[in-house]
Amino acid sequence: MILVFGKNGQVARELNKFDKAHCIGRDEVNLERPEESEQIIRQLRPLAVINAAAYTNVDTAETEQKKAALINSDAPRIMAKTCSSLSIPFVHISTDYVFSGEGHLPWRPEDETDPINAYGRSKREGELGVLNAGGRSAVLRTSWVFSSYGTNFVKTMLRLGEEREEVQVVADQFGGPTSAAEIAKICMQLVAHLEADASAAGIYHFAGAPTTSWAGFAEAIFAKAHIDCMVTEVQSRDYPTVAKRPLNSRLCCEKLSGFGVAQPDWRDGLTQVIDEMGASA
C-alpha cells in the first residue's frame, strides 16, 4: 500500500485511481497538526508515501502564513523524516513558485530559488525539510495543474466562456500547464525508482509542453470546448492580485528523461479533461 496525503485535491483524486494508493484526507489527518502525519505513517507502515496535500490558496497565504507554513513546510518535513527512519520512499509535490519568475529560460532543478510570495516561501521551506531529512525522498516541482476536479484555470475558463462574450487574461506569465493525471503517473513512477535505487532521491521538474501564456491557455480551452468567447490579452500590472505571481514559470524537465519520461503535451490532457467534463461539442 502506498499512503497518499491528500484526498480531494486534483492530484490526489488521480492518485486514488491506482489500486495501490490509499488516500487520506483532513478528516483522518489534520496537517495543521503536522505531528499527526508521523503517527499515521508509523501506524500504517506503508510501502511508500506521497504527499499530494498542500495549502494552495496563493492570495490568502499572505495573511495566513502560519497555517501555510504548518501544512506546506512542517508537515512534509515530518513526513520525510519519518519515512527516512523507516527506510521507505517519499515523494513530495512542490511548485514553480519557489522561483523568482525572472528571465525567460526554463528553471532547472539546481537553480537558485527565490520565492516572491508567502505561498512560495512555505513550499520552499517544505522542500528544504524534505531534502535535509535524507533517505529515499524526491521533490517533484510542477506547474499550472488542471483536471476535471476541484478549482482550476480550465474549469474557471469554461464557466466564464459560457457566461461572457469576452474575457481578459494575463499574457505576460509563461509556463507549462500540467494534467493532474500525468502528475499522478509520475509520482507512482518516482516511488518505483526510489524503491529500486536510493540514488534517485533529489529534485525533479515535471510540466506540460509546449510553453504558453495564461491567455494562450485560455484560447486553447475555448477552442477545444468549441466555446465562442474572445480572449483579450492584458498585462499582470493591469490585473493586480494580493500575492505577486511569477512571470516565468517555465520548468526544465530533462532530468526525468533519465527515467524515460518525456514531457506530456498539455493539449492532449486538456482534451481528455474537457471530454471528462462533457464540455466538448
How confident is the model over 91-103, as a mean pLDDT? 98
**How confident is the model over 105-142, as pLDDT tens digits?**
999 999 999 999 999 999 999 999 999 999 999 999 99
pLDDT score at 278: 85
Query: 231 and 218 in contact (C-beta within 8 Å)?
Result: yes
How confident is the model over 259-274, as a mean pLDDT? 95
pLDDT score at 234: 97
Three-state DSSP at 1 gives coil
pLDDT score at 17: 97
Average pLDDT of the chain is: 96
pLDDT score at 279: 63
Active site residue 97: no
Q: Looking at this protein, which amino acid is placed at residue 59?
A: D
Distances (CA, A) of 223 to 68, 227, 279: 36, 6, 11
First to last CA, the chain: 40
Q: What is the CATH number of domain 2-212+239-277?
A: 3.40.50.720
Residues forming a β-bridge with 168: 232
Domain residue spans in the chain? 2-212+239-277
Q: Is pLDDT at 64 greater than 80 in this prediction?
A: yes
**Distance from C-alpha of 247 to C-alpha of 234, rounded to nearest angstrom:** 13
- Which cell numbers hold the place of 158? 469554461
**Distance from C-alpha of 151 to C-alpha of 163, rounded to nearest angstrom:** 17
Q: Is pLDDT at 70 greater than 90 in this prediction?
A: yes
List of residues 6+ apart from 105 with CB closer than 8 A:
248, 250, 252
Q: Is pLDDT at 281 greater than 60 in this prediction?
A: no
pLDDT score at 280: 56
Q: Is pLDDT at 271 greater than 60 in this prediction?
A: yes
**Apex 118 CA angle, 114 and 119, nearest 5:** 90
Residue 279 or residue 231, greater confidence? 231
How confident is the model over 56-75, as a mean pLDDT? 98
pLDDT score at 272: 96
pLDDT score at 97: 98
Lowest mean pLDDT among 190-194, 221-225, 260-264: 260-264
Catalytic residue among 119, 149, 204, 239: 119
How confident is the model over 200-222, as a mean pLDDT? 98
pLDDT score at 258: 85
Lowest mean pLDDT among 23-27, 98-102, 275-279: 275-279
Q: Is pLDDT at 92 greater than 70 in this prediction?
A: yes
Q: Is pLDDT at 255 greater than 90 in this prediction?
A: yes
pLDDT score at 216: 98
Share of the chain above pLDDT 70, in %: 99
